[in-house]
Structure 1
Amino acid sequence: MSAKTPVESTQIGLIDDSIREVNTALNRGEAVDHPPGPIEAGRFHDGGPLKRGRSALFWDESFLWGIIALNTLSDLAFDFRPINADEIKQGMLEGYDIFIVPGGWARQKARALGEGGKECIRNFVRNGGSYLGFCGGAGLALDVKEGLSLVPLKRMDVRDRVPNFSGPIHVYAQEPRHPLWAGIESPSIFHVWWPSQFMYCKAESIKVLAVYGDPADDFFVADLNAKDINNSRTGWEPWEKEYGIRLDPINIKGEPAIVESSYGRGKVVLSYIHLETPDDTTGHLALFNLWQYLVSNSPSRSKDMGKACTKGLSSNRCVAISLDALKYADELEREMEDFVSFGIRNFLWYRRNGWLLQWKRGIMGLEYSTVYLMAKEIRKRIEERVQDGLHGSCEISRRLRSILNDSRQFLSMAKELLIQERYAMNTGKLHRFASPIQSIQVLRERLFADAMGTGGICRKLLVSMDGVLRLLF
């Protein structure tokens, strides 16, 4: 059976509309016994009504992936609140049914939580809460040095995995009767964005819900389109020799993509698939299915609902926003758009979709994509909330003025770095992790600190932008 893509589906538009309609009704306290469209209620509650449920979305160290998750959950009318590490340490997970952790570096998330925050999450799940992690959020739950050890799984060694793949891929059900697959054919096309891989062990406590199949159109490994390489005479072997890593997607076929386990009284679902990907209606239906499944297995936490409703990052709607803030946000977005155009005309990247760049091997494309998207998100949210009669300074305008100055320094240095990297590409001396050209290495260290982009001017800028976004929730 061929996979059904969102474009081919006759249900396009119906899925998101149906999810939104159901969630809106549930949020109003209405019973939904016969949901519309493709939603199959009977798979969750033995034929009973769907449940509302509430989720806490972990915000710290998520950046681009936090924005993607927040916008998808909001658009589909899920009942959730962003929450940060300090609030977790204060016990604010109580009153929620599901703790959702978006993508981003698991190590950075663990550092933000500290041992106290990690233990609060363990207690939440141990006492019946559910954990749903995407990509880096899945990595945070693993049994590794910085992890939560919610599941007896580790990461596959980087030498054994395909370390850099992204885009749409066919996914097969391993547990076709699991509620995850309600209304979804197997195989179906989902999206991954540079995930790690599970070092799978056959433990009784681990249930594999989905495995990878063949790549779909627009699936990339590094900066190579998988379909084009598969159709070429050269194949993957010479590319793997040149890049020095595994590239052939045959190596991920049959590998676990979504797994489930238990921890105490709670359930843990870890997905290297980004079910929250924008415009991925199949992923959104799977997300809705998992939400209902996890809520149905969660003990009643209604006594703590008031606590959950009034706390979390979504309590800043009264923050004053002036026209000056909109002016600075306009300038920030305009200069970021100019930077993206700079990369396009120098053949360094192109717009892969409405929120992500596709870049050439060796440059810090994900970091540039993240800065760009966060600038656009700030501009969008300020425009939604600016008060026409308010002029002069406000906290957000002061922060944005500082961000604008920092971004100009960042973009100026980044353009210089990219031009030098463009030249190095022609000489065969460009690599993401190290460069024999000293001027390139110096600029990279100042901008990003290391090859993983976890520091430098870029991080300072991202943290500042993240702080403004928190005020806008």
Structure 2
Amino acid sequence: MTSNKAAVLWDESHLWGLTALRALRHKGLLYDLVRAEDIRSGALEDRALLFVPGGWASNKLKALGDEGSSAIRSFVRGGGNYLGFCGGAGLATRDCLGLLPVERVPTAHRVPSFSGLISCTVDNHPMWDNIYRPIFHAWWPSQLRIAGEDIRICARYDRAMPDAYSSDIRVGSLTAGEEWTAKETAYGINLNPERLAGEPAVVEGEYGKGRVLLSLLHFDTPDDARGNRVLRKLWTYMGGTCRTDTPEAVSPKRFAPEAAPLMREAHALIATGEALGLWHWRTPWVLQWKRGVRGLEYCTLANMAVSIAEHLGQRFAENVPAPLVKELHHLAGIFAAFRGRAEELLRKEHAAIQQGLISFDTSDDPALQDLRRALFGSAKSHGGEFKALLDEIDVFLYHLMV
């Protein structure tokens, strides 16, 4: 028998996995952290719930492979429940796992760069009990199109809050529709958050004997008391369990000094972007960046470096074992190599932005484009040297957490 009824899929969640686990721990929700290889080996047996946090759905699907995807379908078909947020919701759609007759709206027809608080209209689902102002966070979500019957729409988007952003534009800074139209023409994408009004934000349906609930809203956003209350209700509704005792007091954070070289690399990279005026910290854990550069990738590295330092400090009161120190030096070394090239890219992007608007994947500078492809690949879901570095950091961090 497994120790907890709920499993959380870690693969390809990165920043969104960290924020999700923080919320789960804060609310006393019990879970076991698993990887795709565990699912392929039967980790969902005797479970009631699989929770898939945010992150690129296409990367998650690749990590699972055919065998892991089949295992999830069998789990839900046999009566297990599936809860997916954002990218975890996308993973369950028709073109991925196919758990529900729901499709993702193509990028050209949606608002692809919305982030922040948005109000919703909700139905009478028990997750909304005692939620009197349904205002929640969405972080660069996809959009869903209902493509079949028997799908319950539990929430729809209503109105974006003034401090939300569409790309790098604060929603409250534009008021007239004509202003949004002008920006959309300049940026070449849909920006006006009013386009989201009435679109599905949370849906529920069945696959075989199991329940599937997909949310584009991040109820696992750090320090979001309202969203975290919904998360706790969903956890029990979907078959998960919660602590019945009083959670232990959170001990002061202790960063292992052995992780200092890795932390320095992350902080230096973020500082370069700040000095160039390309981004600033929007919250303690996520950047707000200018159009034309990648920002989520860089703050993901920074958050994961900090998490490594925290976990090492918690697990090893005194000295970190020598093999881990050796691995930390290796990670810091490849991070340093990446940082040097990333800072070169940021300086090139900064110069290009001074000449006019650019996007993350287009520029008139061939050298800039070549460097982008080397560092991040050609897909928005990232690749290249960044993905190689991220994967090594991810494996190291995962083994500290389990």
Contact 1:429–1:436 (Cα < 8 Å) also in 2: no
How far is the alpha carbon of 1:53 from its aligned partner? 6.9
Match of residue 225 from structure 2: 281
Partners in 2 of 1:328 and 1:242 — Cα distance?
Answer: 47
Partners in 1 of 2:145 and 2:55 — Cα distance?
Answer: 19
Match of residue 138 from structure 2: 192
1:193-247 deviation digits (Å, cap 9, x = unpaired): 001000124x4310000011111132100000111112x6952011000011111
Match of residue 154 from structure 2: 209
How far is the alpha carbon of 1:264 from its aligned partner? 0.8
Match of residue 227 from structure 1: 172
- Tell me the secondary structure at the aligned position of residue 236 of structure 1: helix
Contact 2:111–2:193 (Cα < 8 Å) also in 1: yes
Counterpart residue identity of residue 387, structure 2: R
Q: Say if 2:381 is the partner of 1:437.
A: no
Contact 1:53–1:295 (Cα < 8 Å) also in 2: no
How far is the alpha carbon of 1:434 from its aligned partner? 2.0
Q: Say if 2:127 is the partner of 1:180.
A: yes
Q: Say if 2:298 is the partner of 1:368.
A: yes
How far is the alpha carbon of 1:180 from its aligned partner? 1.1
Out of 367, 390, 393, the residue aligned to residue 322 of structure 2 is 393
Structure ID, larger Rg: 1
- Tell me the secondary structure at the aligned position of residue 201 of structure 2: strand
Counterpart residue identity of residue 373, structure 2: E
Out of 389, 394, 402, the residue aligned to residue 461 of structure 1 is 389
Counterpart residue identity of residue 441, structure 1: Q
Contact 1:127–1:265 (Cα < 8 Å) also in 2: yes
Counterpart residue identity of residue 113, structure 2: N
How far is the alpha carbon of 1:387 from its aligned partner? 4.1
Out of 93, 110, 115, the residue aligned to residue 166 of structure 1 is 115
Alignment gaps of 5+ in structure 1: 1-51, 299-322
- Tell me the secondary structure at the aligned position of residue 452 of structure 1: coil
Partners in 1 of 2:126 and 2:356 — Cα distance?
Answer: 50
Distance change >3 Å, CA 140–CA 391, structure 1 → 2: closer
Match of residue 152 from structure 1: 101
Runs ≥4 residues deviating over 6 A: none
How far is the alpha carbon of 1:90 from its aligned partner? 0.9
Match of residue 420 from structure 1: 348
1:152-176 deviation digits (Å, cap 9, x = unpaired): 0111121211111001111110x22
| Aligned 1:13-412 pairs, distance under 5 A | 54-144=5-95, 147-173=96-122, 175-176=123-124, 178-185=125-132, 187-201=133-147, 203-230=148-175, 235-295=179-239, 326-388=256-318, 390=319, 393-394=322-323, 396-412=324-340
Partners in 1 of 2:317 and 2:233 — Cα distance?
Answer: 39
Question: What is the alpha-carbon root mean square deviation over aligned residues?
Answer: 1.9
Contact 1:110–1:140 (Cα < 8 Å) also in 2: yes
Counterpart residue identity of residue 445, structure 1: R
In the alignment of these two chains, the number of paired residues is 387
- Tell me the secondary structure at the aligned position of residue 8 of structure 2: strand
Partners in 2 of 1:211 and 1:238 — Cα distance?
Answer: 27
Contact 2:84–2:213 (Cα < 8 Å) also in 1: yes
Match of residue 246 from structure 2: none
Partners in 2 of 1:125 and 1:243 — Cα distance?
Answer: 41
Partners in 2 of 1:255 and 1:205 — Cα distance?
Answer: 17
Counterpart residue identity of residue 330, structure 1: A
1:302-335 deviation digits (Å, cap 9, x = unpaired): xxxxxxxxxxxxxxxxxxxxx9x94441121123
Partners in 1 of 2:160 and 2:14 — Cα distance?
Answer: 27
Partners in 1 of 2:85 and 2:312 — Cα distance?
Answer: 28
Distance change >3 Å, CA 66–CA 403, structure 1 → 2: same
Partners in 2 of 1:66 and 1:153 — Cα distance?
Answer: 24
- Tell me the secondary structure at the aligned position of residue 109 of structure 2: coil
